[in-house]
Structure 1
Amino acid sequence: MKNLSRLLFAMLLVLGYSNSNAQDQNNPWQINIGVNAVDAYPNGDGGLFSETIFDEFANVTDHWNILPSLSTISVSKYVGDGFSFGVAGSLNKIDKWGDISTNPDTTNEVDDLSYYGVDGTIKYNFLQNTTLDPYVGVGGGYTWIDEIGAGTLNGTIGLNVWFSDNVGLTIQTSYKHAFEDYLTTHFQHTAGISIKFGGTDTDGDGIYDKDDACPDVAGLEAFNGCPDTDGDGIEDSKDSCPNEAGLAELNGCPDADGDGVADKDDNCPSVAGLKALAGCPDADGDGVTDADDKCVNTAGPAANNGCPWPDTDGDGVLDKDDKCPDVKGTVANSGCPEVSEEVQKTLNEYAKTILFDTGKSTIKSQSEAVLADIISILKEYPTAKFTVEGHTDSVGSEKLNQRLSDSRANSVKEYLIENGIDAFRLSALGYGEAKPIDSNNTRKGRANNRRVEINLAK
């Protein structure tokens, strides 16, 4: 019962240690349950210790003390970079304890002695995540033979052979050097089944949280535990359309019409179109989508709804640029007709016949016909600007003649405006008697000098 209580005490120490550390790595815990063998040969009665310590190391029959039942249990925790720390408890029955000092070749037979111990070990594993997992260790503990105990310094070598990610076979040999003369230095060999545990898998997807990029959401191993909801091979975090299976080149979004524009960005998702037009077609290639193009098969500008600009008057100037779209003109004059010398001459021939009351600016009624002809000509050139010029003969004072010429020029201008000519196209200017075209010495000459001219503004 004493031996059993001591073993239970050792196990409580192990369990206490295992519960004192947080589980923060995949399967950080390893528990081993098995049997142990104790070998004190050739260090027996007399404390013999020499280079012969490894003599008959594998002589199981003559020197090893083996209890044919569960006799050792250990727990270790991985702490990182190949290192782990463990605590082990063991018990045994000793009937062979080293050799006889007076006859080293003879095994020292003893009565059944109780052997039990508690040991702590720091281990280093050379290979991790492999089937064969060798390790070395160093540590210390306390060992009792019956009621006598002493501290030990331990050196360990061992090998884990993993049958799966969690279950394996562990074989280990420890050299235990005693600090007290009454406890002989000896070997302790163990073999048993090891189980790794303690990994956390919060979302239950089979990937431990430490390696799971999405520990709270069940996912796939291929994506480090992250989900692919629509199953298109693109994890949700990188999938612009996580609930619809799509194409990798479109970040996981579908493209129903195959035009290279994802449906979510395609204004015409059922008809193949152009990326530049948000997936909509443009049959005539004019940059206007067919849905908005009033001339689907004829290229035209967007400003004209995809139709070519018309040239109503056929003068080579498109209506959009033609200041006189209904009157044939010249390109140089923005589509408007240009006033020729002949037209200018005709205007002045008409203008010269405008009659005024003597000494006044009042236009006589018989001049209405000729003014109508003038208005008709001016309307043929809707963008041309003209100057109405008034002239007098030299009869009377120069000041009076200047005032009369100004007044008559303005009278004609106002008449033209009142009868449909835009005011911005007309200006009026009187020259008095300054620009005669004939002699003022004859009646006929003076009649010619009293005139109105309508000239194209320069």
Structure 2
Amino acid sequence: MKNLSRLFFAMTLLLAVSISYGQDKNNPWAFGLGVNAVDLYPVGEDSPRGAYFDEYFNANDHWNILPAPSVVSVSRYISDGFTFTAQGSLNRINKIGTNDFMGVTSPATAPNLTYFAVDGLVSYSFMNIINSQKLDPFIGIGGGYTWVDDIGFGTLNGSLGLKYWLNDNFGLTAQSTYKHAFDDFADGGDGAKHFQHSVGFAVRFGGTDTDGDGIYDQDDACPDVAGLEAFNGCPDSDNDGIEDSKDDCPNEAGLAEFNGCPDADGDGIKDGDDKCPTTPGLASLAGCPDADGDGVADGDDNCPNEAGPSANNGCPWPDTDGDGVLDKDDQCPNEAGEVANNGCPKVEPTPEVMKQLNDYARTILFNTGKSSLKKASDVTLNAMVAILKEYPKAKFELDGYTDSVGSAKSNQLLSERRANAVRDYLIANGIGEDRLVAKGFGEENPIDTNKTRAGRANNRRVEVKVIK
């Protein structure tokens, strides 16, 4: 018994040490400690023993209980729900069954016998089948060897049990085992069929955590690098909630939308692609701002607050002469001109303008037989001045004509004087003299008959031509 006491003391000490190393639910090793009860009654024999499972729970009359830690076990998980357990137990036998004499029952006792058993058990857990993290029912089969005082015998064992895990490491256990001895003393043998019940607690331990992150290797996706439980043991170096393997910027906290890379200025462009990472800008300008909205980034814009084309470095094109044609398109940038003439002044009037000039010219009124202009012609002449000023580069010929009344010589002189009278008026009102030539053609080239007053009036005229 001294050796047995020492054995139990050593196993209890080992159990106490193992508690401090319990880590994870997947730990393959477990130690158990508890108390056991031996019942020799409900084993299918005649009095003083009973039928199978008869008074199975009659602990008071039939159970032999040692009121101290009396069973210790060590278990190793195999795979697929199977576990192997080695168990040692100690007890005192003083109850065998029940005597029945003349209708009076009394406990069948035995001398205070020492009970010691060593058993091995292969069990199967139903924990995964019932999808539970707490309840762990199991069934097992195995064998062992039992000593009652100096008598030893082998047994074939079948067990049912239940474990309830309080957390990943600690659990409560309850187990009932039938131990069948083939040489039972009821048949004249040295063995004894019996039930052994036990309750206690178990501690799981023994998993490997190479990187020391609290997640054991078999569940650790990164077993050699300390990480977080949220990422199955993989690290998140920058603590941005994105594990390093999926983080394009693992050492710089960033956003999920940019695969863990930062956007310091919050403009929706990650810093690695942002040419202006500290100033909010536009995606079209690689994250740089454009204050005037002209499509030229402020850093490249010579006029950042005034919209202008990129071809002019973000500044608007000038229009020096103010004619509405930008200098870059103006062939006469220092001289106001026409859009249709590429910014240059009109050189020659169109046929439509010439018709208008001649319509005016034919209505100029002269005093009869004289070259002096009538006052009523001022409106017509001023209209001609306005048109001529629109074509400062053009030169014009003013041709004077008369009717056939009078001599040809006098008509020639009169036509010349009248053409020059019109020229003088135009020059006096701002038309350059080098632009105007006056000629007289007398009674030549009539445009109407000279036999009527109206026809002769039409022939007394001034015509305007462009000098090419």
Report if aligned partners of 1:6, 1:116 keep a CA contact under 8 Å in 2: no
Partner of 2:139: 136
Report if aligned partners of 1:44, 1:98 keep a CA contact under 8 Å in 2: no
* Matched letter for residue 194 of structure 2: H
Partner of 2:159: 156
Match runs of 1:256-275 below 5 Å: 256-275=264-283
Cα displacement (A) at 1:223: 2.8
User: For 1:377-414, what per-residue CA distance to the aligned partner results, in whole angstroms no more than 9, with x for missing partners?
Assistant: xxxxxxxxxxxxxxxxxxxxxxxxxxxxxxxxxxxxxx
Match runs of 1:6-85 below 5 Å: 26-43=26-43, 52-85=51-84
Partner of 2:195: 187
Counterparts of 2:148 and 2:255 in 1: how far apart (Å)? 73
- Aligned partner (choices 151, 156, 172) of residue 175 of structure 2: 172
- Aligned partner (choices 186, 211, 214) of residue 206 of structure 1: 214
Cα displacement (A) at 1:101: 9.7
Cα displacement (A) at 1:149: 3.2
* Matched letter for residue 87 of structure 1: A
Cα displacement (A) at 1:39: 0.5
Counterparts of 1:93 and 1:3 in 2: how far apart (Å)? 16
The TM-score with structure 1 as length reference comes to: 0.59
> What is the DSSP-based 3-state SS (H/G/I as helix, E as strand, rest coil) of the residue aligned with 1:291?
helix
Match runs of 1:89-100 below 5 Å: 89-99=88-98
Counterparts of 1:226 and 1:302 in 2: how far apart (Å)? 49
Partner of 1:394: none
* Matched letter for residue 258 of structure 1: G
Counterparts of 1:44 and 1:97 in 2: how far apart (Å)? 13
Q: 1:214 to 1:322 in 2, by over 3 A?
A: farther
Counterparts of 1:149 and 1:159 in 2: how far apart (Å)? 29
Cα displacement (A) at 1:29: 1.3
Which of 1 and 2 has greater Rg? 2
Partner of 1:251: 259
* Matched letter for residue 221 of structure 2: A
Counterparts of 1:257 and 1:327 in 2: how far apart (Å)? 49
Cα displacement (A) at 1:38: 0.7
Counterparts of 2:32 and 2:257 in 1: how far apart (Å)? 51
Residue 292 (1) aligns with residue 292 (2) = no
* Matched letter for residue 127 of structure 1: M
Counterparts of 2:232 and 2:88 in 1: how far apart (Å)? 39
Partner of 1:410: none
Q: Percent of pairs identical after alignment?
A: 65
User: For 1:167-203, what per-residue CA distance to the aligned partner results, in whole angstroms no more than 9, with x for missing partners?
Assistant: 2221111111223342232100111221111123333
* Matched letter for residue 179 of structure 1: F
Report if aligned partners of 1:174, 1:188 keep a CA contact under 8 Å in 2: yes
Partner of 1:121: 121
Q: 1:319 to 1:58 in 2, by over 3 A?
A: same
Counterparts of 1:6 and 1:151 in 2: how far apart (Å)? 24
Q: 1:304 to 1:317 in 2, by over 3 A?
A: same
Partner of 2:111: 111
Q: 1:334 to 1:157 in 2, by over 3 A?
A: farther
Counterparts of 2:161 and 2:102 in 1: how far apart (Å)? 33
Report if aligned partners of 2:143, 2:155 keep a CA contact under 8 Å in 1: yes
> What is the DSSP-based 3-state SS (H/G/I as helix, E as strand, rest coil) of the residue aligned with 1:279?
coil
Cα displacement (A) at 1:299: 4.6
> What is the DSSP-based 3-state SS (H/G/I as helix, E as strand, rest coil) of the residue aligned with 1:249?
helix
RMSD over equivalenced CA pairs, Å: 4.4
Match runs of 1:268-283 below 5 Å: 268-283=276-291
* Matched letter for residue 72 of structure 2: I
Corresponding pairs, count:
332
Cα displacement (A) at 1:58: 1.5
Report if aligned partners of 1:293, 1:306 keep a CA contact under 8 Å in 2: yes
User: For 1:31-66, what per-residue CA distance to the aligned partner results, in whole angstroms no more than 9, with x for missing partners?
Assistant: 10122111010448769988x211111222221112
* Matched letter for residue 297 of structure 2: T
Q: 1:175 to 1:43 in 2, by over 3 A?
A: closer
Report if aligned partners of 1:45, 1:101 keep a CA contact under 8 Å in 2: no
Q: 1:3 to 1:173 in 2, by over 3 A?
A: farther
Counterparts of 1:231 and 1:167 in 2: how far apart (Å)? 32
> What is the DSSP-based 3-state SS (H/G/I as helix, E as strand, rest coil) of the residue aligned with 2:299?
coil
- Structure 2 residue ranges without an equivalent (≥5): 349-468
Counterparts of 1:213 and 1:87 in 2: how far apart (Å)? 33
User: For 1:7-52, what per-residue CA distance to the aligned partner results, in whole angstroms no more than 9, with x for missing partners?
Assistant: 67x97xx99xx9xxxx9982221110122111010448769988x2
Counterparts of 1:109 and 1:211 in 2: how far apart (Å)? 54
